[in-house]
Structure 1
C-alpha cells in the first residue's frame, strides 16, 4: 500500500457532509457571511492584526519622540543662553539692562558678527562690544572704529584697547578694591557713585596729546576701572569689569546707573555679542576663506545640528554592530514537527509564486529517493537515472525524463499534478 504525499499547492479537500440532524434551522433576519479567506488561510482582519503587532513598538517609539520634541518646542522659552546677550535672563546675561533701555525708548539691535555690527551702527548711535571669548583681529577693530558710532567696550584685550583708544589706553592688572568713589568729573561716573569694579586700565597718552582719557575709580596703584575719550567724531568708553552689565551684579551699588548712562545716550543701540568663530569685517561680502570652510558649505547655526546627527549615526552603528566571534549553538526553545515546517515552507513558496523552485525541489527529492532505491551513485547523471527508471517501470523514456527533468509547471494545478505523478512513479519503482 502506497502513501500519497499531499502537495503544499494541492487544493484543500472538500469538507465532510454534515448530517441532517446537525443542520441548523434557518432563522429570519440577516445572516453574517463567513470571512473571506485569502490563499494563505488568513483573513484581512488577521493580517491587519499581525501588521499591528509588528509595527506597534516602532510606532510607539516614534510617537514618544514626537511628543517629546513637541513638549520641548512648547516649553522652550525664546531666550538666549549666550553671556551678555540682551535676551538672556540668566545671571551671566544682560536682559535686565536691555529691558530697561527698551522701556526708555532705546532701539536695540542684537548682532553676533562684526559685519552685522558695521552694517547696523553709524553716527548718532551707540555700539556696545561685549567681551570676546577669543579676540578681535586688527581689521575687525578697524572696521568697528570706522562706523562713526559711540563705542562702549567691556573687558577688552590689549589689541582692542589700543585700537579703539588710538594707543591712549593700555591694560594692566589690578586688585578688586572696596567700593570707592569715581574721583572724576565724568557724568556717568558721577551718576553711579561708589562701585566695586576690578581696575585694569591705565593712561598711556602723552602730555602733548589733544585727547586725554578721563579715568575713574582708581585702585591707588595707577589702575582704573573706567575710561572715557571724546574724539571729534565719536566717544569711546572702556570698562575693565563687565560686572556692570551682568544680571547677577547689575543691581550692586551703582552698576545699573553706570550701565544705563553709558548705553542710553543715543536712541539706537547696536549690541554686539561676538561669535568666537566670526572673522568678518563688513568691508565686503565675506569670502569662504573669511567664513571658514564649515560656514562656506553649511548655513550658520548648522554645526549643532550636524553634531547631533553625527552622534545619532554613531549610536545607531553601535546599536546595530555585530560582534565577530564563534557561533553559539543553542537548543531550540520548541520542537517543530516536520509536517508543520513543510506546510510553512509551502506557504512561503505559494506567497512568492515560486512554482519553479517548488517543482525543482520535488523532482530532486524524487530523483534522489529513486536513485537510492535502484542502487545508483549520487554522482549519476540524468541519462543514467532515466535509463534505470525506464528499466524498472517499463515507462517510455521521454515520459520519465519529462517527469524528473522537465520544464517548470505553468500554474498551481500543474504543480499539484506533477507532485501526484512523481509520487506514482516512486511507488512503481519501489514496488517489489
Structure 2
C-alpha cells in the first residue's frame, strides 16, 4: 500500500504553527513599533491651537502674547506669525509693520537683514547689534534699566494715547536723531526714529505685549497703537535654530514642515529606547569548534537539557525522527536521497505495520507535551528494533 505524505518542516511543525510561534516572539516588538508609528502620526497631523512659546501671538502662557494679537485681529489687523528671518523679510513690505520680539540668538547677518526691511519696525528688547543697525547708532542699551510707572514726556502719538505705562527704561539716546519717551534717570523706555519713509520704534521692555503685564497701566494701549498702525502686522518670534539671513530661500529651506524637528527628536528618542531594549539579545547562533573534547553522551544530554529549557519539543522530535529514519533507511537499503513516501513504504514492507501508523511516527505533528515526546521516542525505538530484526 502506497501512502502519499507531505514533506515535514525541519522542526516537525506545520507552517501555521511556525507562524504562530514567530508571532508570539515578535508581538511585543510589533506593538512597540505600532505605538511609535501612532505617536509619530499624531504629532505629524496634529497642531495645537495655542502654544507656550514666549511672545508668540498664539501663546496663552503668562509670557505669551495671544491677548494683544486677538484684540488686533478684532480691529481688522492681519497678524501673520513667522518664525524665520527669511519669512519676515519677504512678508515685511512697505505699508506693513514688522514686530521683532526678543531674539538674543540673532546673528549679525540676520540683524542686518531685519534692519533693512522697508516696513515700519517695532523692536521689543532688541539686541545691541539690531538696535544699532536699525537706528543708525542713535539708540543704545542703558547700563542700568530703571523700572516703575511713568508718563510719556514726548510727542509720539502712540505714547500720548497710552498715557502712563509701567515699563523698564532700558534704552538710552545717543544723539538727537531719535525721540525718547518715558524717561527715567539717563534712560528711556521707548525710542522712535523716522527716516527713509519708515518708522523704527524700540521698546526696551517687552512687558507691553505679555499676557501677564498687558493690562498694567497703559501697556495695552501702547501696544495696540504701535502694532495696529497698519492693516498688516508681521509678528516675528525667531526660531532658535533658524539660520536664514533674509537673502532668499536656500536649496534646503522649506523642505520640511515646522514640526519636523520635534518629530525627529521624538523618533530619535524612541530609537534609542528600542536600541537599549533590544541590545540584550545576542543575535543568531554561530557554530564554532569546541576547544575541548566532549564525550558524545555528555553532548547529547546537554542538547536535551537545552531543548527542555526552551520547550522545543518540535525540534527534539524532529531530531529523533531524522536519526531513526536515517538508520532504518541504511538498514533497508533506501538511499538518503529518497523521498518520504519511499522510506515509509519500505518500513511498512519490513514490519507489516499499518501505513498510517508508520506515517504518524516518522512524519507526524510535534508532540504536545513531554509525556508525548517520551512516548514518541519509545515507539520509534520499538519500530527501529523491528526493522533491524528483519
Partner deviation per Cα, 1:88-143 (whole Å, 9 max, x = no partner): 11111111111100111111111111111111111111111111141232x33333
In 1: Cα distance, 2:167 partner to 2:159 partner? 12
Pair member with larger Rg: 1
- 2:115 is equivalent to residue 145 of structure 1: yes
In 1: Cα distance, 2:388 partner to 2:130 partner? 100
Give the aligned partner of residue 156 of structure 1: 126
**Residue-pair matches, total:** 325
Change (3 A) 1:223 1:299: same
1:315-334 aligned within 5 A: 315-322=273-280
2:180 pairs with one of 210, 215, 224 = 215
- 2:199 is equivalent to residue 235 of structure 1: yes
Specify the SS of the correspondent of 2:144.
coil
Partner deviation per Cα, 1:239-284 (whole Å, 9 max, x = no partner): 0001111111111111101100100111111111112222323333
- 2:208 is equivalent to residue 244 of structure 1: yes
**Structure 2 unpaired stretches of 5+:** 7-11, 283-301, 351-383
1:396-407 aligned within 5 A: 402-403=333-334, 406-407=335-336
1:408 pairs with one of 334, 337, 347 = 337
Give the aligned partner of residue 308 of structure 1: 266
TM-score (norm 1): 0.63
Equivalent residues of 2:77, 2:231 under 8 A apart: yes
Equivalent residues of 2:326, 2:336 under 8 A apart: no
Equivalent residues of 1:136, 1:160 under 8 A apart: no
Equivalent residues of 1:199, 1:241 under 8 A apart: yes
- 2:96 is equivalent to residue 125 of structure 1: yes
**Structure 1 unpaired stretches of 5+:** 1-8, 11-39, 207-211, 350-356, 368-398
Equivalent residues of 2:115, 2:130 under 8 A apart: no
Change (3 A) 1:347 1:123: same
TM-score (norm 2): 0.69
Equivalent residues of 1:228, 1:236 under 8 A apart: yes
Q: Of the two structures, which has the highest relative contact order with CA contacts closer than 8 Å and spacing of 6 or more?
A: 2
Partner deviation per Cα, 1:387-412 (whole Å, 9 max, x = no partner): xxxxxxxxxxxx95824xx23332x4
Equivalent residues of 1:173, 1:199 under 8 A apart: no
Specify the SS of the correspondent of 2:147.
coil
1:239-388 aligned within 5 A: 239-286=203-250, 300-322=258-280, 341=313, 344-345=314-315, 361-362=323-324, 364-365=326-327
In 1: Cα distance, 2:137 partner to 2:230 partner? 26
Equivalent residues of 2:36, 2:270 under 8 A apart: no
- 2:130 is equivalent to residue 168 of structure 1: no
- The Cα shift of 1:59 comes to 7.6
